[in-house]
Amino acid sequence: MPENSTKTAPASARGLDFSQDLLAKGWYHSFEFPDGSAIDGYMPLAVEKERYARYPIPADLRGKRVLDIGAWDGWFSFEAERHGANVTAIDCVEIPTFLQVHRRLRSKVDYRILDFYELPAAGLGRFDIVFFLGVLYHLRHPLLALEIVCGLTTDVAIVESFVIDAETWKEHQDKIPTLEFYENFELGNQYDNWSGLTVACLLAMCRAAGFARVELMYAGGNYAGVACFRKWEAAPVQPAAPPQLLFVSNTRTPGNCFSSRKSEEYLECVFRPVPDREIRPADLRLEVAGFGTRAIYAQRREDGAWAASFRLPPALDPGWYPVRLRLADTGFSNELRIAVDVPPGGPKQIVIKDVCDGKSWDRGQVSHANGGFVSFWVSGLPENRSALDVRATLGDFPLQITWMGPDEPSGYCQINARIPPDLPTGSHAFRVQYAAASSEPQPVQVL
């Protein structure tokens, strides 16, 4: 935050300019020290304590890692440390007042000077609790910022931000959430304020960032505070029968492989409630790698099972992760696995068992008249399999793979594909390739 004067700035469109008060006090946070002395900052101690008490933070933080992003003078960092936490505090510039309190308290808080967007690569690990207080509206990319915060959190993030409708948000809950964009000095006469969200927008962005549950804890004045949980609430003590999780796939491309290089990855889960019932997205509690993720939609399929899609939780390291599902009133289903950034294995041999028309199930043929769907069964694919790595061809024509199943007990997996509309009728050699391995050709009649 460069501290240049703003004499030529236009009149502030939103009052919030406390820079004069802050300058007069010299401190933003207030402190009381064990020896009885005190520092009187812009924010009274009582307000700090009230803010801290507002959030679901355990009183005993021993064994917990806490990250305080944008710590300023550090009251929240030192308060969490006083409760036993192992605290890391981040700021974009070194604040001498933080260091002063750090010395006086003989604090062990790990103080780092980092740009916010440097956080994911800073190697700090993950934190049980993240404080993200009064920072969001200073950032140019608010949803990205919340994704980064989500990726750093294992339990709960406390997000407090300037909002534009803290006193009136209940009156327009039927409207589309909005945010104001501050190109220059529109907010508080400071040019490093970028966005002002409505309360509804803040909640929606926290959900879209990947948190499982988002609870509004406070709205008033110009601020709102939100608790963002990575995990679902505990399953009921006497749960109903869990659903049966049949299948998990990447919605972008059939298969169980996911890439962290894609900005939006979604899982499609196929499941059956036991007994069968109607499902709304809000009923679903999917867990990936132990983190909860929200359903975006749910719909019944033609075969009576349900399909629902969920956002892949952010910032997963490369590896295999368990996926399981419960409904609000049930326990968890069976577990399936997905692979994130796992390099595709090289199969030795690919064997085709059966090829048939996807509608009529007639073997050895596929018919344009039936829509040009083909189903085949292959063995030899690695467990992490993506349609992007599979090449199925009829003669010289590549087929578009629409579905890839798991290995069945027979050791073969079903793959569905569509033939191109300009594929000539007659006999073609059908082949499946994966990495360097290729099946033996099989003749298939195109009708």
Binding site for other proteins (CB under 8 A): 2, 4-9, 13-14, 93, 115-118, 139-141, 143-144, 172, 174-186, 191-192, 194, 196-197, 201, 204-205, 207-208, 252, 261-264, 296-297, 400, 420
CA dist 222 and 227 (Å) reads: 17
Task: In angstroms, give the least distance from the CB of 390 to other proteins.
Answer: 15
Q: Which is nearer to other proteins, 195 or 256 (CB)?
A: 195
CB 224 within 8 A of CB 160: yes
Q: Which is nearer to other proteins, 68 or 186 (CB)?
A: 186
How far CA 261 is from CA of 264, 265, 317, 341, 438, in Å, comes to 9, 9, 12, 9, 28
Dihedral sign for Cα 351, 356, 357, 359, please. negative
Burial of 323 (0-12, 13-18, 19+ CB in 10 A): buried
Q: Residues in the chain, how many?
A: 447
Task: In angstroms, give the least distance from the CB of 139 to other proteins.
Answer: 8
CB 433 within 8 A of CB 350: yes
CA 180 to chain centre: 24
Q: Which is nearer to other proteins, 7 or 301 (CB)?
A: 7
254 CB-near residues (< 8 Å, 6+ apart) = 386, 387, 401, 402, 403, 404, 415
User: Which helix H or strand E contains 160, and what residues bound it?
Assistant: strand 153-162
Task: Map residue 52 onto helix, strand or coil.
Answer: helix
Q: Which is nearer to other proteins, 25 or 172 (CB)?
A: 172
Q: Which is nearer to other proteins, 400 or 427 (CB)?
A: 400
Task: In angstroms, give the least distance from the CB of 318 to other proteins.
Answer: 17
Task: In angstroms, give the least distance from the CB of 63 to other proteins.
Answer: 33
Task: In angstroms, give the least distance from the CB of 176 to other proteins.
Answer: 5
CA dist 252 and 401 (Å) reads: 12
User: Would strands 244-250 and 319-327 be described as parallel, antiparallel, or unpaired?
Assistant: unpaired
Task: In angstroms, give the least distance from the CB of 264 to other proteins.
Answer: 7
Q: Which is nearer to other proteins, 37 or 263 (CB)?
A: 263
Task: In angstroms, give the least distance from the CB of 336 to other proteins.
Answer: 23
Q: Which is nearer to other proteins, 264 or 302 (CB)?
A: 264
Return the structure tokens found at 38: 């005190």
